[in-house]
Structure 1
């Protein structure tokens, strides 16, 4: 009995020893992957696991300092919070061994930034490839020249600062992604930056910022997203640009009219296009042809924000793009009108289209938002249903309850399996109309 008891007592020790051996003898690439999946604070704590794990984290190629540093260990209202955080950051950097491929500083509690200067000097000498500085209040901070000497940079993310490179700056020769949130550029700086990054594939500009003109000369650019305001954007050299999201909704008159043929003629492989109110408006000022002289063969997804049904030019613009995109599969559109508008010309135009030979042969999905049940909206729906033989889903969303007299169920459609879905946001009511059958259900207890 004593022997059996003694063996039983040894089992936990054997189990702990085996687990320790397994953890200590993991291949280096496995331990590195484990460490990179952990928040940095927890990665540092792995030093206590065993002698072989001690300081393994100092070789990590990526360092992410985020709000997990503050959570559970510091108080946001601590007057010494700023100095404590940077003390931790510099201690980690002091112990770190080897190149730092990725560095992220994203701590919402940080408000001032004098320590960023020596931080940038350090990173510029350690082979940094991916850099993200996201602090909510940098007060127009100007980065030191050391930022612009990071020759290995592939990805750069900056927020709430001023981007002002020295005169000797020749661009980032290896960078593929630039993302700027509320960043201030001097005259011509953004344009020069884009053209001096020959490998740039992704450009994102966010925040209610105002820029003058932007000539895009980026032969490898594939993705462009911006909700900033520009007087003028010209796609001078962007033969690979496949995704364009320009979503500024500013309605001021300060801007230049665009010719549709000039804009889309420079985007030969565009696949996804989203246009906000402002850019759409200036495109229509330049004149709207019935269809473009060339086809947008690669365009699959089209999203248009705030199309005014009362303006025939804007309705014409929508149909021009659809007609010029023979392989379009998805259309999302916000259409607005008022009961006091004179919609006669728009209704006449849509009726003419209904009796034309135009067809939207590849269109599968349509989404209309802010539907209010006006005649132009109904006629537009009628046209889509009558001209889209492959249509599968039409989702019609309204921001308030809209009376339904059953007219949608009587519209003829050429797609045998089309499903029309009506959704009234106020009451979470969803109505399905399919193959002439009308049945409804209520979501969320509305």
Structure 2
């Protein structure tokens, strides 16, 4: 009797659940499982066909794999077509992975994006499982996009009547190939609401111009020969990393990393030491003080190079209000370091946390830690992770670090495991 009553309550719950509850449950389920809920009751029978978020990611395709991990891509394509054909509401969010076999049926791929372009899609995350596919040109018809991520596709020029993405705020391009140099500018020039731009491991574009007045976060991680900023007055966070050292890097353009210093909004900066090395070690420190900067991250630094260590110190001195400092160093020779570059009268009165990775105990590295301890009166933690050195060398280095006097009575030295 009790079991019968419990079963009845369960049925009543599923039959009478509010629409908002049904939507939340369906959004948390894989799309094929969501479809199976149609048998629960009349109220659920068509609810999954109104989902505003459709997820055909890697997990979707893995569910179609047999015991030998062979994916039935024809079945997957048919499922996607059926869902889009029967869908009876707007699709605001799409996560789509396209296997190479599925991509060969270009009509299916283009039909999916064409359908979304007419259905008010606001977010698209589209990934190719095999590099070398052309993105569907219908992507440029999705005029209501707010968030767009494209991974491992070729980008062809947009249609001549392309007017940009007027509502786009977040753009992520990873491992894309630009068929023409001009495509990037065409893509972003009319995105007047763009706030976040991430460009990672691209190809086909050597000259980069950033001209987006609304931009707040910029991440460039790849290979480029020149870089220019035109209008970045709203920029709050910038990350520039060269993956390799190019043969010909235009120094005057690399010096453009100083231009965002004119932005009073900057709160976070990440620079790669490769920029310094590629420019022949003559990148000048910013001409102004970053008064709003809270985080500074400098990576791939060989502190045994006097020019690099001098640039590092000048950068730190230009950021007197930082609260967090991250430094990643490269292995270097244990050579002497000139003392006159360290100005102990310039205090870092707001610095709370320091992270230093890759140190091996060279005199330049030890001098840097001694300096940071001495000029940081409110420092709480200095975390360090050593490079690949022996246990005895690591112990000697730790003992040397612990001997340095500290301006902050609360400062702790914390060794992180490799």
SS in structure 1 of the partner of residue 112 of structure 2: helix
Q: Which residue of 2 aligns with 1:357?
A: 345
Which of 145, 148, 167 is the matching residue for 2:140? 148
Separation (CA, whole Å) in 2 of partners of 1:139 and 1:210? 13
TM-score, normalised to structure 2, is 0.90
2:299 is the alignment partner of 1:305:
yes
Q: 1:284 to 1:365 in 2, by over 3 A?
A: farther
Separation (CA, whole Å) in 2 of partners of 1:200 and 1:94? 32
Q: 1:103 to 1:422 in 2, by over 3 A?
A: closer
Deviation beyond 6 Å, 4+ runs, structure 1? none
Cα distance, 1:179 vs structure 2: 1.0
Cα distance, 1:310 vs structure 2: 2.6
Deviations 1:165-186 (A, max 9, x none): 1222221111111111111122
Deviations 1:144-184 (A, max 9, x none): 2x221111111111111122212222211111111111111
Q: What residue ranges of structure 1 are gaps of 5+ in the alignment? A: 1-7, 426-446
Q: Contact 2:133–2:152 (CA<8 Å) still a contact in 1?
A: yes
Cα distance, 1:373 vs structure 2: 0.8
Q: 1:166 to 1:283 in 2, by over 3 A?
A: same
Question: CA RMSD of the aligned region, Å?
Answer: 2.3
Q: Which residue of 2 aligns with 1:323?
A: 317
Separation (CA, whole Å) in 1 of partners of 2:257 and 2:130? 42
Pairing 1:5-404 to 2, within 5 Å after superposition: 8=1, 11-75=2-66, 81-106=72-97, 112-113=103-104, 114=106, 115-144=108-137, 146-164=138-156, 165-185=158-178, 186-207=180-201, 209=203, 211-257=205-251, 258-259=254-255, 262-282=258-278, 285-289=281-285, 292-339=286-333, 343-344=335-336, 347-348=337-338, 351-354=339-342, 356-400=344-388, 401=390, 402-404=393-395
Separation (CA, whole Å) in 2 of partners of 1:73 and 1:194? 37
Cα distance, 1:219 vs structure 2: 1.4
Alignment size in residue pairs: 407
TM-score, normalised to structure 1, is 0.85
Q: What residue ranges of structure 2 are gaps of 5+ in the alignment? A: none
Separation (CA, whole Å) in 2 of partners of 1:408 and 1:17? 69
Which is higher, the Rg of structure 1 or of structure 2? 1
Cα distance, 1:248 vs structure 2: 2.3
Q: Contact 1:140–1:184 (CA<8 Å) still a contact in 2?
A: no
Cα distance, 1:106 vs structure 2: 2.3
Q: 1:390 to 1:253 in 2, by over 3 A?
A: farther
Q: 1:303 to 1:110 in 2, by over 3 A?
A: farther
Cα distance, 1:296 vs structure 2: 0.5
Cα distance, 1:72 vs structure 2: 4.7
Separation (CA, whole Å) in 2 of partners of 1:397 and 1:273? 21
Q: Contact 1:111–1:136 (CA<8 Å) still a contact in 2?
A: no
SS in structure 2 of the partner of residue 117 of structure 1: helix
Cα distance, 1:403 vs structure 2: 4.2
